[in-house]
DNA sequence: GACAAATGTCATTAC
DNA sequence: AAGTAATGACATTTG
């Protein structure tokens, strides 16, 4: 049950993010707080060195808000949390998550309601193909949405009325009921586009105090019975776009829509192409980005003028449609954690939960769902990010092959060396940042980037690189070789990152020989010291860098002060000369009692405290030095 | 092969 | 007392 909860939770996060992109605010924090480890950013210093973060210890303390911020794995979790925070900042209304999820499909009726008779026809055909229950439900479902749209005029605006629906209208005029399935497919896929805008507008109206009736509209919208939703799901399934309902995949919806928007004469081909695109997108979904849109994506965009809103992961225009509330990182996050994981989650939920194979369930628990960090390409391997994308599938094979983290020679290891999968400690994979790509310390032994949120069973980690070859085919570290030689059923990464309680329990429960125990302790000590050394060196480099910067700043400050000093000296000299000249001028115009002008050498001007200027005789230094005496003597001699 | 840089390991200390 | 982080010193590996 915990596993099921975990998968639902992870899927819920993905779903929440997707829904949030269309303006639907979902509060899952209260739910997640009971399972996941919320994190907090603690500023403990400028260094971002490698830190062994005891997630396993902090998992249950303070709701996890004590996790060390230096841990590089936190970046992605912070990103996900930041994403959720941004989503919450959208100011959208809150409503139950589950219902919100269904609204993605349910509000598609808005499109039908807005698009006039033509789309209504399309809706009819669509509903006809979905069975009697749908036919019954459509009686009130579109009506409610129509009511909402009529009361909220802005809901009827947007690309639907001018573009998408017009396109649909033309399409439906040409092709009548013989194209029910593609039309429904188009309608549903397009409705996903339109409902996002409508939802955004509805949310805006919702937040408008001058529109009290919008509350009622939301209530109407939310009061849709469960049967409506289920019927809509069946409708979706009948339309052969089950991926939308099962995976809540907007991308699939876009692809389906792309097929529907294609040239009608090529409907069949378009459908096939849609399926191909869907497969293609699934394969590349984690790597898709704005800049390198795949050909399939480009095709979808070309064929679907309004796919911008559907495909929230690709088109930049979707950002404008969403009010610019989400930055590019949001889309990247969605790309990385959303669609792919939803697919895998769905499949794993279907297969794993039904088969109830404890081993498989354990595998699923190991690296599925919210693999936020797994997509990070760390220094371990350039293909580490790719590894993560296929971790869900590859983990099975690795588990079946036995102990993970061992080399290909694991086949020769006695059966007793099979990893004990019953251990339940929560590993913390620091491999992507800590385990450097040093060939004599192969990343294989540390394994690929794995789940960093509290999860169980690092044993199920996939040890494949991007090329599909087992990483443990590579060279092993010395400790890994020693562990293998001693038949230690744990990888070095496991031994090092294992919490001490678990480590001691392992030492006690496996009846290891003293040599094995010593080796385990040495491996753990060396591994931790290795991390500490890396951390220490990075800190040292940071300190050196900081000192160098400080030196440069101080040198610059010194140069600046010297320049200011020189400038000040020049200014003072110039001012002194001006004062001297002014004094001469003033004294030249003054007369003494005999009517003679004052000699500037004998008199000077002094400015008193009250601002008056007085003439004072020049005070010669009274101190007579030897040199002065000599000078006086010479003067006397000259006079004589 | 020499060399510098990077990294691993050991010993020690402090918490 | 035990575990571990931090760090200097030395060893090892790599380019």
Q: What is the mean pLDDT of residues A119-125?
A: 39
Q: What is the mean pLDDT of residues A432-455?
A: 34
pLDDT digits 0-9 by tens, A42-54: 333 333 334 443 3
In this structure, the answer to whether residues A34 and A160 fall within a common structural domain is no
Instruction: Say yes or no to pLDDT of A425 above 50.
Output: no
Q: Which residue has the higher pLDDT, A496 or A281?
A: A496
Distance A526 CA to B3 C1' (A): 28
* Rounded-to-integer distance, Cα A242 and Cα A12, Å: 18
In this structure, the answer to whether residues A159 and A176 fall within a common structural domain is yes
- Cβ atoms A77, A372 nearer than 8 A: yes
3-state helix, strand, coil in chain A (%, to 5): 65, 5, 30
Q: What is the mean pLDDT of residues A392-415?
A: 31
Instruction: Say yes or no to pLDDT of A29 above 70.
Output: no
The protein residue nearest B6 (Cα–C1') is: A438
* Rounded-to-integer distance, Cα A506 and Cα A510, Å: 6
DSSP string, A180-202: HHHHHHHHHHHHHHHHHHHHHHH
In this structure, the answer to whether residues A416 and A461 fall within a common structural domain is yes
* Rounded-to-integer distance, Cα A342 and Cα A345, Å: 5
Token duo for residue A233: 């799901």
What is the band of A556 on the pLDDT scale with cuts at 50, 70, 90? very high
Q: Answer yes or no: is A529 CB < 7 A from strand C.
A: yes
- Across all strands, nucleotide nearest A50 (CA–C1'): C5
DSSP A408: G
Q: What is the pLDDT, as a whole number, of residue A606?
A: 86
Does a structural domain hold residue A334? no
* Rounded-to-integer distance, Cα A489 and Cα A502, Å: 14
Token duo for residue A17: 């993010």
Q: Which of A30, A61, A88 is the last residue of a domain?
A: A88
Q: Answer yes or no: is A535 CB < 7 A from strand C.
A: yes
- Across all strands, nucleotide nearest A446 (CA–C1'): B8
* Rounded-to-integer distance, Cα A8 and Cα A113, Å: 33
In this structure, the answer to whether residues A119 and A82 fall within a common structural domain is no
Work out how many domains chain A is built from and give that number.
4
Question: Going by C-beta distance under 8 Å and a sequence separation of 6 or more, which residues neighbour residue A511?
Answer: none
Instruction: Say yes or no to pLDDT of A479 above 50.
Output: yes
Does a structural domain hold residue A361? no
Instruction: Say yes or no to pLDDT of A505 above 60.
Output: yes
Distance A136 CA to B3 C1' (A): 83
In this structure, the answer to whether residues A506 and A629 fall within a common structural domain is no
Range of the domain at A162: 97-324
Strand C footprint nucleotides (protein C-beta < 7 Å): 3-9, 12-15
Q: What is the mean pLDDT of residues A622-632?
A: 56
* Rounded-to-integer distance, Cα A506 and Cα A508, Å: 5
Strand B footprint nucleotides (protein C-beta < 7 Å): 6-11
Percent of the residues in chain A that have a pLDDT greater than 90, as a whole number = 4
Q: What is the pLDDT, as a whole number, of residue A534?
A: 86
**Cα A152 vs. chain centroid, distance in angstroms?**
35
The protein residue nearest C4 (Cα–C1') is: A528
What is the band of A499 on the pLDDT scale with cuts at 50, 70, 90? confident
CA distances to A69, A248, A536, A551 from A47, in Å = 10, 41, 10, 19
Does a structural domain hold residue A567? no
DSSP H helices, A22-131, are 29-32, 55-58, 74-88, 97-106, 108-114, 116-128
Does a structural domain hold residue A597? yes
Does a structural domain hold residue A332? no
Token duo for residue A605: 């001007």
- Cβ atoms A130, A235 nearer than 8 A: yes
Distance A365 CA to C5 C1' (A): 31
- Across all strands, nucleotide nearest A521 (CA–C1'): C3
- Across all strands, nucleotide nearest A530 (CA–C1'): B8
Residues A51/A428/A507/A475 CA torsion (nearest 10 deg): -90
In this structure, the answer to whether residues A44 and A111 fall within a common structural domain is no
Q: What is the pLDDT, as a whole number, of residue A564?
A: 98
Distance A52 CA to B13 C1' (A): 20
| Cβ-count burial A322-356 (b if 16+ within 10 Å, e if not) | beebbeeebbbbbbbbbbbbbbbbbbbbeebeeee
- Cβ atoms A332, A289 nearer than 8 A: yes
DSSP string, A110-130: HHHHHTHHHHHHHHHHHHHTT
In this structure, the answer to whether residues A49 and A113 fall within a common structural domain is no
Instruction: Say yes or no to pLDDT of A571 above 90.
Output: yes
Dihedral sign from CA coordinates of A578, A584, A589, A590? positive
Instruction: Say yes or no to pLDDT of A514 above 80.
Output: yes
What is the band of A553 on the pLDDT scale with cuts at 50, 70, 90? very high
Instruction: Say yes or no to pLDDT of A466 above 60.
Output: no
Percent of the residues in chain A that have a pLDDT greater than 70, as a whole number = 23
Instruction: Say yes or no to pLDDT of A402 above 80.
Output: no
Q: Answer yes or no: is A541 CB < 7 A from strand C.
A: no
- Across all strands, nucleotide nearest A526 (CA–C1'): B9
* SS3 category, A70: coil
pLDDT digits 0-9 by tens, A318-342: 333 333 333 333 334 334 433 333 3
Q: What are phi and psi of A438, to 5 degrees?
A: -110, 120
Q: Which of A42, A66, A88 is the last residue of a domain?
A: A88
Does a structural domain hold residue A349? no
Distance A582 CA to C1 C1' (A): 87
Tokens 């694991």 found at: A410
In this structure, the answer to whether residues A75 and A113 fall within a common structural domain is no
Q: What is the pLDDT, as a whole number, of residue A626?
A: 53
Q: What is the pLDDT, as a whole number, of residue A578?
A: 94
Instruction: Say yes or no to pLDDT of A59 above 80.
Output: no
Q: Which residue has the higher pLDDT, A143 or A380?
A: A143
- Cβ atoms A484, A530 nearer than 8 A: no
DSSP string, A246-261: HH--HHHHHHHHHHHH
Angle, CA of A171, A176 and A178, to the nearest 5°: 115
In this structure, the answer to whether residues A67 and A210 fall within a common structural domain is no
Q: Which residue has the higher pLDDT, A366 or A488?
A: A488
A450: domain CATH number is 1.10.880.10
- Cβ atoms A192, A253 nearer than 8 A: yes
pLDDT digits 0-9 by tens, A133-185: 433 444 444 444 344 334 343 333 333 333 333 333 344 443 434 344 444 43
Q: Which of A324, A340, A361 is the last residue of a domain?
A: A324
- Across all strands, nucleotide nearest A478 (CA–C1'): B8
What is the band of A492 on the pLDDT scale with cuts at 50, 70, 90? confident
Considering chain A, what is the average pLDDT of its residues? 50
Q: Which residues touch strand B (CB under 7 A)?
A: A 435-436, 438, 440-441, 477-479, 522, 525-527, 529-530, 533-534, 537
Distance A536 CA to C6 C1' (A): 7
Q: What is the mean pLDDT of residues A218-232?
A: 42
Token duo for residue A40: 């907090």
Distance A435 CA to B4 C1' (A): 22
Q: What is the mean pLDDT of residues A592-612?
A: 86
Instruction: Say yes or no to pLDDT of A546 above 70.
Output: yes
In this structure, the answer to whether residues A35 and A117 fall within a common structural domain is no
Per the structure, the residues numbered 149 to 168 in protein chain A that have their CB within 7 angstroms of any atom of strand C are: none
In this structure, the answer to whether residues A143 and A160 fall within a common structural domain is yes
Q: Answer yes or no: is A321 CB < 7 A from strand C.
A: no
Instruction: Say yes or no to pLDDT of A474 above 90.
Output: no
* Rounded-to-integer distance, Cα A625 and Cα A613, Å: 32
Instruction: Say yes or no to pLDDT of A521 above 60.
Output: yes
* Rounded-to-integer distance, Cα A207 and Cα A95, Å: 14
| CA nearest neighbour of A608 among A616, A619, A597 | A616
* SS3 category, A441: strand
Q: Answer yes or no: is A503 CB < 7 A from strand C.
A: yes
Q: What is the mean pLDDT of residues A54-74?
A: 36
Does a structural domain hold residue A569? no
* Rounded-to-integer distance, Cα A462 and Cα A386, Å: 11
Highest average pLDDT, of A268-282, A466-480, A590-604, comes from: A590-604
In this structure, the answer to whether residues A84 and A101 fall within a common structural domain is no
- Cβ atoms A263, A270 nearer than 8 A: yes
Does a structural domain hold residue A576? no
The protein residue nearest B10 (Cα–C1') is: A526
Tokens 């799901």 found at: A233
């Amino acid at each position: 049950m915990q596993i099921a909860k975990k998968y639902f939770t992870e899927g819920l996060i993905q779903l929440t993010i997707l829904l949030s992109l269309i303006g639907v605010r979902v509060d899952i924090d209260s739910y997640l707080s009971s399972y996941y480890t919320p994190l907090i950013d603690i500023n403990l210093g400028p260094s971002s060195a490698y830190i062994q973060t005891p997630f396993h210890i902090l998992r249950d303390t303070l709701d996890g808000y004590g996790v060390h911020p230096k841990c590089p794995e936190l970046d992605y979790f912070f990103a996900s949390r930041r994403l959720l925070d941004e989503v919450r900042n959208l100011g959208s209304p809150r409503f139950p998550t589950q219902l919100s999820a269904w609204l993605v499909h349910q509000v598609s009726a808005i499109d039908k309601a807005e698009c006039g008779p033509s789309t209504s026809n399309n809706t009819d055909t669509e509903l006809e193909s979905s069975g009697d229950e749908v036919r019954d439900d459509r009686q009130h479902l579109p009506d409610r949405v129509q009511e909402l749209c009529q009361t909220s005029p802005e809901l009827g605006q947007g690309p639907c009325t001018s573009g998408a629906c017009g396109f649909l209208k033309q399409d439906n005029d040409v092709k009548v009921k013989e194209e029910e399935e593609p039309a429904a497919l188009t309608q549903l896929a397009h409705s996903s586009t339109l409902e996002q805008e409508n939802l955004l507008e509805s949310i805006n109206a919702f937040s408008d105090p001058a529109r009290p009736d919008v509350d009622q509209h939301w209530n109407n919208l939310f009061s849709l019975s469960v049967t409506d939703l289920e019927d809509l799901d069946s409708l979706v399934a009948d339309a052969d776009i089950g991926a939308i309902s099962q995976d809540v995949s907007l991308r699939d919806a876009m692809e389906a829509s792309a097929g529907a928007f294609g040239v009608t004469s090529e409907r069949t081909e378009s459908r096939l192409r849609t399926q191909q695109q869907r497969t293609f997108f699934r394969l590349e979904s984690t790597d898709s980005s704005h800049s390198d849109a795949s050909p399939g994506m480009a095709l979808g965009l070309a064929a679907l003028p309004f796919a911008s809103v559907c495909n929230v992961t690709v088109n930049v225009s979707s950002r404008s449609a969403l009010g610019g509330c989400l930055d590019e990182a949001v889309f990247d996050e969605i790309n990385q954690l959303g669609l792919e994981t939803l697919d895998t989650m769905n499949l794993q939920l279907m297969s794993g939960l039904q088969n109830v194979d404890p081993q498989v369930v354990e595998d699923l628990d190991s690296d599925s769902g919210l693999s936020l960090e797994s997509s990070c390409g760390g220094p371990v391997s350039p293909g580490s990010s790719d590894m993560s994308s296929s971790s869900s599938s590859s983990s099975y094979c690795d588990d079946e092959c036995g102990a993970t983290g061992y080399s290909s020679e694991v086949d020769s290891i006695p059966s007793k060396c099979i990893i004990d999968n019953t251990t339940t400690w929560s590993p913390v994979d620091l491999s992507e940042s800590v385990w450097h790509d040093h060939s004599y310390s192969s990343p294989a032994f540390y394994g690929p980037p794995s789940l960093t949120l509290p999860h169980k069973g690092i044993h199920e980690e996939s040890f494949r690189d991007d090329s599909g070859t087992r990483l443990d085919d590579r060279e092993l570290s010395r400790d890994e070789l020693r562990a293998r030689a001693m038949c230690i059923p744990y990888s070095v990464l496991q031994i090092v990152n294992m919490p001490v309680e678990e480590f001691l329990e392992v030492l006690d429960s496996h009846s290891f020989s003293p040599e094995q125990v010593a080796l385990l302790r040495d491996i753990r000590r060396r591994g931790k010291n290795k991390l500490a050394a890396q951390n220490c060196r990075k800190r040292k480099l940071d300190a050196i860098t900081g000192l160098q910067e400080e030196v440069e700043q101080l040198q610059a400050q010194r140069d600046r002060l010297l320049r200011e000093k020189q400038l000040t000296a020049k200014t003072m000299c110039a001012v002194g000369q001006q004062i001297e000249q002014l004094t001469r001028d003033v004294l030249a115009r003054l007369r003494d009692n005999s009517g003679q002008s004052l000699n500037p050498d004998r008199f000077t001007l002094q400015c008193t405290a009250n601002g008056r200027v007085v003439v004072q005789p020049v005070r010669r230094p009274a101190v007579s030095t030897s040199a002065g005496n000599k000078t006086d003597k010479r003067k006397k001699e000259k006079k004589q």
